[in-house]
Amino acid sequence: MTNGQTPTQPPTGKQKRRSRHKRDTTNLPPLELTERDVAILQSVGQFQLLSSKQIQLLFFRSLHKTRKRLFRLWEHGLLERRFPPVHLGEGTRPVIYTLAPKGARLLGSQGGLIDEAGERAIPKATFNRKASPLFYEHTIRRNDFQLALTLACRQAPNVEVLFWRQDRSIKDAVTFLNGNGKTPAILRKVPLFADGFFGLEVKDRKLYFFVEIDRGTTDNKRFLTKMKGYYHLWLQRRHVKRYGIENFRVLVVTTSKARMENLIQTAKKVRQGNGGSGLFWFTTFDRYSTDIPLSILGHIWKRASAGNGDDHSILD
């Protein structure tokens, strides 16, 4: 080029890659909200948080398409996301999504959240910057259970989820005389706030369950006190007055077979030497899977009662 002019570089055609961690509100790609997008926001609000893998199981066939759509919803401020810590020896863990304030407002403008029973609730943002990794891990475990149950009932004939609750409506406290037969019993008030409470309809029967997710952080003494709380809830028939149900079971899901056997032996002490109780059922995380959801309805449960060697199904 003449006259001392600097030649102009031709455009490369490459665009700057958008950040995975910081929203770029400049040149934001357009978003045409679909019915599936709204359903995703509904589910994230109902579950409190969901991983990209869990959302894929509910709405997509491809994990790649799942990530791409969730990224777009995050870019537009409808979802928040968190990258869980990766421990030594682990691969990349799925991104966790929660409902952002903008997403909650959108659902509110469309009538709110809809639960399993078809009832509406006011949506709230579920992202909590102060929540610990343990909270997220515990919630993901609970959601794996609920998700496996939901998917299993879609596949199983004559089995239907009546409802799932995990809010303060199931928070309770039971007062009873607590003792071990060796020391004087004292009046004890035990709070009960299960990880979940749900009902199933199986042909002409209705079954009800409380869910406790155990990650091995509770000692035996505290666990026994909680199980005594459930036992006295049943003994006092508070469930009849509060929920209008005749019976229930307590499902405990824990980390390993050894931990499960330890908890079973602990739960057998609830009746103070009068044998175990069929109220309490146990399994481990590795005995069911969201990839094979019908496994959660299989014979994977052990009861804290005499001769608990047999495996049972929650449909029994």
Q: Going from the N-terminus, what domains does the chain have, and what CATH number goes with each? A: 20-130 (1.10.10.10), 132-316 (3.40.91)
Burial letters 116-139, b for 16+ CB under 10 A, else e: beeeeeebeebbeeeeeeeebebb
The pLDDT, as a whole number, for residue 281 is: 97
**How many angstroms separate the CA atoms of 27 and 13, rounded?**
16
Q: What angle do CA 158, 39, 25 make, to 5 degrees?
A: 160
State the Cα torsion 156-158-159-163 to the nearest 10°: 140
The one-digit pLDDT tens for each residue of the chain (316 residues) are 445 554 545 555 555 565 666 777 777 888 999 999 999 999 999 898 999 999 999 999 999 999 999 999 999 999 999 887 766 666 677 899 999 999 999 998 876 665 544 455 555 666 566 778 888 889 999 999 999 999 999 999 999 999 999 988 899 999 998 876 667 678 889 999 999 999 999 998 999 999 999 999 999 999 999 999 999 999 999 999 999 999 999 999 999 999 999 999 999 999 865 656 789 999 999 999 999 999 999 999 999 986 667 899 999 9
- Name the pTM for this structure: 0.85
H and E: helices and strands count for the chain: 8, 13
Q: Which two tokens stand for residue 233?
A: 């809830």
Beta bridge partner(s), residue 51: 96
* Tokens describing residue 279: 């109220």
In 3D space, the residue among 189, 167, 193 whose CA is nearest the CA of residue 178 turns out to be 189
Give me the pLDDT at residue 117, please: 47
CB atoms inside a 10 Å sphere around CB 33? 12
Q: Tell me, what's the pLDDT at 168?
A: 86
Q: What 3-state DSSP class applies to 13?
A: coil
d(CA 193, CA 296): 22
Instruction: Give the model's pLDDT for residue 83.
Output: 85
Q: Which two tokens stand for residue 53?
A: 């893998």
- Report the residue count for the chain: 316
CA–CA dist 309, 311 (Å, integer): 7
Instruction: Give the E-state strand segments of the chain in sequence order.
Output: 49-51, 79-82, 96-99, 113-114, 120-121, 159-165, 172-178, 186-192, 196-202, 205-213, 249-254, 277-284, 302-304
Sign of the alpha-carbon dihedral angle for 197, 201, 202, 206: positive
Distance CA 45, CA 79 (A): 10
Alpha-carbon distance of 184 to 186, in angstroms, equals 6
